[in-house]
Structure 1
Amino acid sequence: MIFIYEKWTSRRTEKWTSQLFPKMLPLTADFPWFHPQKEGFRSSHQEEGSDQEKEESAYGSRESKVKSKTQCACAVVVGSCQGTCALGARNSTAMMKAGRISGFEPGERSLRIPFPLFNFGKARRPKPRGPSACHGPLRARLCRLLLESSVGGRGTDRGKGPDGDLEGQLRVLSFAGCGMGGEDLAEILSLLPLFLQTLDVKGNDLRGGAMTAFRSKLSESNSLTVSSLPVSLRVLILDDCSITCEALEGLSATFKEGKMRKLVVLSLSDNPFETSPGFSALCCAFEEEKALEALEVLRVRSSRINSKGVKAFAEVFAQGRLPSLREVDFGRDKYQLGYSLVVCGAIALADATRTVRSVLPQMTRLHTIDLIGRDIQQKGIQAFLEVYQQQNQREQGGEAGKGLCEDLRLCTSSLSDVQAKTICSGGLPCLKALEVHRGAMNAVLEVVESSPGPGHLRVPALHLIEMVAVSAGTLGAMTRCLRGPSLSACLRQLHLNKMPYNQTPLPSSQVVREFFVSLSSAHLETLSTLFLNGLGVRDAECELLAEGLRNNRFPSLRRLSIEHEPPTHITGKGIKALMEAGTVEKPLEMEDLGLALTYAAGQEEGTAAIAKALGEGRLPKLRKLDLRTTGMKDPGMKNLAGALLMNDLPSLRHVLLSFNAATEAGHTAFLESIMQAPSWGTKQAACGSWQEAFG
């Protein structure tokens, strides 16, 4: 179970902190080169009279007391942005200044160090990039660690070194966002250990001296630069490294030499390739037989690749030179085409018809197509449909269209009614899932509304997603569709969100109520995810939704979110109605419940209702409970602790409580209470991600 809090607690909480994560804390003493209180580094808790004195964690007190073996610590992550997602802004900056370790992931065997390779000044932003951005003792320590992890450990991986236990065991190295460049970066990369599996250089500068140093070391037989990386390397991330065409050509030569045959992930996003020669050279490297035979993921987002580069890649792909490739991402580029299980390209230009017709037929294994982008025009979508139909006609017998476009994502206001009807009514015979966002939703909803029954809608899985600003028109169209039978057997996800920062006016209360009336009476057999955030939901709508849950209208529902609702909308009465939808005899199958920024959930009546439902076993399969920013105070924490003591809740893993009004005493009492639960030993074993434990 992972509990996420607003702030670090004081020394009085050291006892439960050490009990909560007994195996993680000793790792702060594992590195002889890591001593934040030496060599000019002043820990935040050493500053007299500062607010940070209250923030000392168990790390500081146990650092000098515990010495442990490092049989499992084999990854180092260094970066100015690491840890900021785990800590609040003030606390993460303090941790960076102190040089403390923020977490350990037993599952990934990963040790995270959230300080940058240069000191923070008064300003909390890192210094600009450049050859002199990295200075101070930390760079020297990192170089020493890399050297100790390589020398004597090559080919043996014995795991024993003269000064520590990391020799030959370093597997993951990341210094993303450190802004290094020049000789500093070259020196670090020249010491990469032989058995390194992941290298993340994102946000550093490979221009000028750094790249020159890389290429000059190619001739050295004993060097391990980025151009002669270890043969065991699996993941290489070079995003936002200012890699130019010339530098990319040098990297391509390395691929041709076959030094990265085990590479699985290659990311070159946000680099100024400028013109096609650089990427075309990379495609030439792909043509070498078995040069990248294990490559599964290629990401080249926002790198200014033109149509020639994309066409060169398509030709290589069609020849089968990348047999393991599963994901290609050219997102946000001028031409966006790809083959991916997650993100494929979009067709977004005036000459899209010519491009699609020349490229798509060569990508015979195309599985997912992503047509999400504001610049997509009707002729681009039409070109895709024409190419798809031509490809279908070339196939023989029952194999027609096999493997071509099983998943389609649409987000364009240019989708015509005819095109929407073609897509939804069997024009794509292999289509298994259709995900519709924003602009395309109204056109698809019109097709759904006019469909006489489920059999006429040829989409096995339909995902309707409006993440930013649902309009009254969209909500009204959705209401009418719910009254018919077409969505009963195909709707999988429904996201209707109105984010607070968006200026679009809320739908009227009458429109919202009509939608909930239709939703509560519809029978949606396949609906698994329902997000209704910021719609102005009130107690009456909560009661309608609870009625639908009670009557088993959504038998497959696993994720429910009603967030961003002020106290003027939902009160404790609405929260109570939702929590009473399930009974002990007939509990809800919910796994994820989100009530963040719905302030009634944090008030005493709301937390009492949630605690009662948890304690009585009405949500036995719940894995995640999100109560962030609900204004919860100490009584609410007490209610939750009592529920966790009353019921084992073996599935519960995430309780998010950030940015609430509970005091330190409330947090401490809460954790002391839950550690008294009979199954705490089992829950303790699941507490793997310490870097996520404080938000």
Structure 2
Amino acid sequence: MDNHLVGAAGQEEEKTGSIGSFHPTTWDSVLCMLLKTSEPSAQVCSVRNGFGPTAACTWLYTIKQGKVLGVPFRNLDLSKCTLSPRRIFVLLNVLPLSTEGLKLGSSAVQGQALPLLRNFLEKLGTQQEQEGGGASRIKHLRFAERSIGPLEAPVVFSVLPSFLETLDLEGNVLGSAEMEALAQATRAGRLSCLQSLNLKSTRMNDEKMEILSSAFAEAKPLKIECLLLCRSVFGSGETFSSLLRRDTLSFLQELQLNYCSLSTAVWRALAERLKAGELPSLESLGLEWGWPPGELDQEALVSFAGALVRSAVPRLKNLNLKGVWANRHAGTALVSALRSDEVPHLETVDIEVSCESEETARVLGSGEGLEFIRSLDTNLDGQAGVEFLRAVMSAPKKPSWEELTLAVYRMGDGGGIDAEIWTALAAALDMGRLSSLHTLLFIHETDDDDDGEEFKLPVSQTSDAEGGGGGQFFDVFRGVSLPVLSEVTLDDAGFTDRDLAWLGEGIRAGKYPQLTKLSIRGNNFGRAGMEGLFGGVRESQGGLLCLGELGLGFSRAGEGAASLAGALRSGKMPGLSWLMLRATGWDDEGMRMLGEAVREGHMTQIVALFLGGNTFGREGMDVFFGAVSASEKGFPSLELLILSGSPVLEDGPGAAGGGIAALSQNLRLEKMPCIVCLELSNCSLTNEGMRLLGEAFGEKETPSLTELHLSGNPFNEEGLTSFLEALQPQSLPNLKRIPWNEPGNEASVPPWKNELIMNAKEAGKLRSLNVSS
């Protein structure tokens, strides 16, 4: 049997009743049984030897002919299909009548596929009209990202079937011309049955939204129930004033503006539209993130809060304001609006609130009348923070929150309020009232009035009895199950080895199964704390499988290098991608231990590795990068490597530059194929080191590298010259920055550095370099 589906496009005609060069019934007896339990996918249709597309066509044809009963085929995803356009449309022409959803990728849209797609869509529309429903009726049409562009949009949009209910264009960059084509399709009635329009990540802005809004107004009323505009940029209030109108979008139930850049004017316009009752059917409103942060006028949020009344949005059920920080009086206004008797019958609300008054804090903490809040982000600072936690504990029942973020601020009052907050936080945890804790942050803001004293947690009575210093908080924390806890950032929180050991006990008991980030930089722990923490990881049944980011910097973590290396080698932290060990006293022996974890393949997921400001030198560099070279995979995911010393640290510049030969060998062997940024500032890099580094880049292209930091090193004109002479034009094709000045070191750059760099750029060796960097 011929396994090839069809010849090249335009070279072979298919016979009636056949698919390509064979009759589909050849496969019926084999496929009928398979059809009962599965359906074709993009992968099945992409097998390169011809078996996949052949089987897929027969698969669909057999269903279409009614040879297999009980197989209600609904959707086909060809977004990753690698077949030729001709084969793809042979496949589409045998779609069963039950097919409702279709997703297409660039192979089915661009180039030679475009006229075939046009014919296919035209045929869908005309057959439906002529046969009264006897043809395939694709209701849901989706295009994979980057499949629709300036050439495709006018063609595809002009033949969209008028019975479409879903049009998904997410991830396709649509310019003004493409939006004009969609607007024209709207005016022509091609979106007359559309219920869902997905324009996420299409780079929508005021100009393009105005084009579409005008078309919507001309084609009104539309049946759109779901409008997705996430990751757009809107600055003009007029944009929403013209879009959100009752006579145009009277059926709109869901409006998603998550991760959009929305100006204050847009927020005000949105509030006005809501207050005017222009969206009477609205049930879900997504405004997550509210980027850019810090620029939103809080009065606009007050105005928005005033629109949350039944008379304006009678059907509103779901409101997402994550990332939209309602500060002080805006927070008070929002909480008051949500507790008002006039609020709609809300079901889920996500908010971020900073309480201005103790009363607002008590109301929020008690949860009374706010049972619909599912995600809450709030500050614990001052007396309001204490009152919030007291209300949590005194409430008749546990809060209904599913996700809670708490940011604990240090007040710097000599320990009074700070101690009260941490004591109350420990008590609330101990009562089981904060089991929804998702993120815990410690914000240590310093100012001119800071007393300069190290912050210390309230001491636990347990630690006194056991003869060691430990905080009440971690004494409680170790015994509390927190099933959704994702982030713990307690930098400069003043905890000790005993605190870290208690945290390890909680990990050993599996109390934090979803922990993805742990940052404990700037705390007073060393060998004992590291063993307590990572001993808990090693001995736990499940480990920290979700942990992606670990911050141990500015501590004595280097004393416990063996403990961290052991946890890595145990395989209990397989997803670790960010490892921050800056200024931890990490020495040559610590580098050897870390290297063993690399050699055994336990650090393949590492994306960023911070090793700067430490005490290791040439020996540590040789043994670590020697292990990387000897490993099978090396650092396949590594994008950021920081080996820089720092002139502001007591130990002065690092000595990593002495081991540059080992690092250079890694580059030659492509053990860091994805490296984007390499920081070697202040690491005692000499002329010889520069020569070795240049030769490595010259012998092996490194197209991923965009930043190379070399400032603060003792090499001179000879060293930079040897580095640049060793490069080939293709060595660093995408290098954009070689910054010579680091923050805190503003000395003028010697003229010879800029001159040599400019000469290399003119010679085509650094063609992408931004010389102003």
Shorter-chain TM-score range: 0.5 to 0.7
**Equivalence for 1:609:** 563
**Equivalence for 1:579:** 534
**Equivalence for 2:232:** 269
**Equivalence for 1:190:** 154
Q: 1:390-410 CA deviation, whole Å, 9 max, x = no partner? A: 148xxxxxxxx8x52644523
Q: Unaligned 5+ residue runs, structure 2?
A: 1-46, 53-76, 83-105, 122-140, 161-166, 461-469, 613-620, 637-671, 678-773
Q: 1:361 to 1:614 in 2, by over 3 A?
A: same
* AA in 1 matched with 2:530: I
Where 1:430 maps in the other structure, the secondary structure is coil
Where 1:146 maps in the other structure, the secondary structure is coil
2:546 is aligned, of 591, 609, 615, to 591
**Equivalence for 1:94:** none
Q: 1:506 to 1:348 in 2, by over 3 A?
A: farther
* AA in 1 matched with 2:492: L
Following superposition, the deviation at residue 348 of structure 1 comes to: 4.5
2: CA distance, partners of 1:69 / 1:254 = 51
Following superposition, the deviation at residue 543 of structure 1 comes to: 3.6
1: CA distance, partners of 2:633 / 2:225 = 48
Residues 81-92 of structure 1 mapped to structure 2, 5 A cutoff: none
1: CA distance, partners of 2:433 / 2:322 = 20
2: CA distance, partners of 1:480 / 1:273 = 47
2: CA distance, partners of 1:262 / 1:354 = 24
Q: Residue 630 of structure 1 contacts residue 660 of structure 1 at CA under 8 Å; is this kept in 2? A: yes
2: CA distance, partners of 1:502 / 1:154 = 65
TM-score by length of 2: 0.49
Q: Residue 271 of structure 2 contacts residue 307 of structure 2 at CA under 8 Å; is this kept in 1? A: no
Following superposition, the deviation at residue 147 of structure 1 comes to: 4.0
**Equivalence for 2:424:** 481
Following superposition, the deviation at residue 356 of structure 1 comes to: 4.6
2: CA distance, partners of 1:506 / 1:107 = 64
* AA in 1 matched with 2:564: I
**Equivalence for 1:327:** 286
2: CA distance, partners of 1:655 / 1:551 = 23
Where 1:438 maps in the other structure, the secondary structure is strand
2: CA distance, partners of 1:671 / 1:314 = 63
**Equivalence for 2:514:** 558
1:385 correspondence with 2:345: no
Q: Unaligned 5+ residue runs, structure 1?
A: 1-66, 73-105, 112-141, 158-168, 177-184, 338-344, 393-400, 646-651, 676-689
Residues 140-155 of structure 1 mapped to structure 2, 5 A cutoff: 146-154=110-118
- Number of positions where the alignment pairs a residue of Structure 1 with one of Structure 2: 488
Q: 1:6-54 CA deviation, whole Å, 9 max, x = no partner? A: xxxxxxxxxxxxxxxxxxxxxxxxxxxxxxxxxxxxxxxxxxxxxxxxx
Q: 1:487-535 CA deviation, whole Å, 9 max, x = no partner? A: 5312223422448999996984352464861122214333624513422
**Equivalence for 1:509:** 454
Q: 1:262 to 1:240 in 2, by over 3 A?
A: closer
2: CA distance, partners of 1:656 / 1:267 = 27
Q: Residue 629 of structure 1 contacts residue 660 of structure 1 at CA under 8 Å; is this kept in 2? A: yes
Residues 162-311 of structure 1 mapped to structure 2, 5 A cutoff: 171-174=143-146, 189-190=153-154, 197-200=168-171, 206=176, 210=177, 214=181, 234-239=198-203, 241-243=205-207, 246-253=210-217, 256=220, 265-267=228-230, 269-275=232-238, 278-284=239-245, 287-288=248-249, 297-299=256-258, 301-303=261-263, 304-305=265-266, 307=268, 309-311=270-272
Where 1:284 maps in the other structure, the secondary structure is coil
**Equivalence for 1:43:** none
2: CA distance, partners of 1:506 / 1:463 = 31
Q: 1:485 to 1:656 in 2, by over 3 A?
A: same
2: CA distance, partners of 1:354 / 1:585 = 50
Following superposition, the deviation at residue 669 of structure 1 comes to: 2.8
* AA in 2 matched with 1:412: S
1: CA distance, partners of 2:269 / 2:379 = 31
Where 2:471 maps in the other structure, the secondary structure is helix
Following superposition, the deviation at residue 481 of structure 1 comes to: 0.8
Following superposition, the deviation at residue 640 of structure 1 comes to: 1.3
**Equivalence for 2:592:** 635
1:418 correspondence with 2:359: yes
* AA in 1 matched with 2:386: L
Q: Residue 441 of structure 2 contacts residue 490 of structure 2 at CA under 8 Å; is this kept in 1? A: yes
TM-score by length of 1: 0.53
2: CA distance, partners of 1:431 / 1:220 = 41
Q: 1:309 to 1:435 in 2, by over 3 A?
A: closer
Q: 1:156 to 1:638 in 2, by over 3 A?
A: farther
**Equivalence for 2:325:** 373
1:532 is aligned, of 486, 489, 492, to 489
Q: 1:664 to 1:510 in 2, by over 3 A?
A: closer
Where 1:381 maps in the other structure, the secondary structure is helix
Where 1:592 maps in the other structure, the secondary structure is coil
Where 1:362 maps in the other structure, the secondary structure is coil
Following superposition, the deviation at residue 579 of structure 1 comes to: 0.7
1: CA distance, partners of 2:532 / 2:595 = 21
1: CA distance, partners of 2:339 / 2:240 = 27
Q: 1:405 to 1:691 in 2, by over 3 A?
A: farther
Q: 1:381 to 1:273 in 2, by over 3 A?
A: same
* AA in 1 matched with 2:441: L
Q: 1:254-287 CA deviation, whole Å, 9 max, x = no partner? A: 87486x9697622473233343xx4233123774
Q: 1:420 to 1:537 in 2, by over 3 A?
A: closer
Q: Residue 441 of structure 1 contacts residue 464 of structure 1 at CA under 8 Å; is this kept in 2? A: no
2: CA distance, partners of 1:199 / 1:448 = 42
1: CA distance, partners of 2:570 / 2:107 = 56
Q: Residue 538 of structure 1 contacts residue 574 of structure 1 at CA under 8 Å; is this kept in 2? A: no
Following superposition, the deviation at residue 578 of structure 1 comes to: 0.8
Q: Residue 244 of structure 1 contacts residue 274 of structure 1 at CA under 8 Å; is this kept in 2? A: no
Q: Residue 375 of structure 2 contacts residue 402 of structure 2 at CA under 8 Å; is this kept in 1? A: yes
1: CA distance, partners of 2:310 / 2:560 = 59
Larger CA Rg, structure 1 vs 2: 2
* AA in 1 matched with 2:388: V
Where 2:116 maps in the other structure, the secondary structure is coil
Following superposition, the deviation at residue 637 of structure 1 comes to: 4.4
Where 1:466 maps in the other structure, the secondary structure is strand
Q: 1:513 to 1:440 in 2, by over 3 A?
A: closer
Cα RMSD between the aligned structures? 5.8
1: CA distance, partners of 2:322 / 2:535 = 40
**Equivalence for 1:493:** 438
Relative contact order higher in (CA < 8 Å, ≥ 6 apart): 1
* AA in 2 matched with 1:153: L
1: CA distance, partners of 2:528 / 2:225 = 58
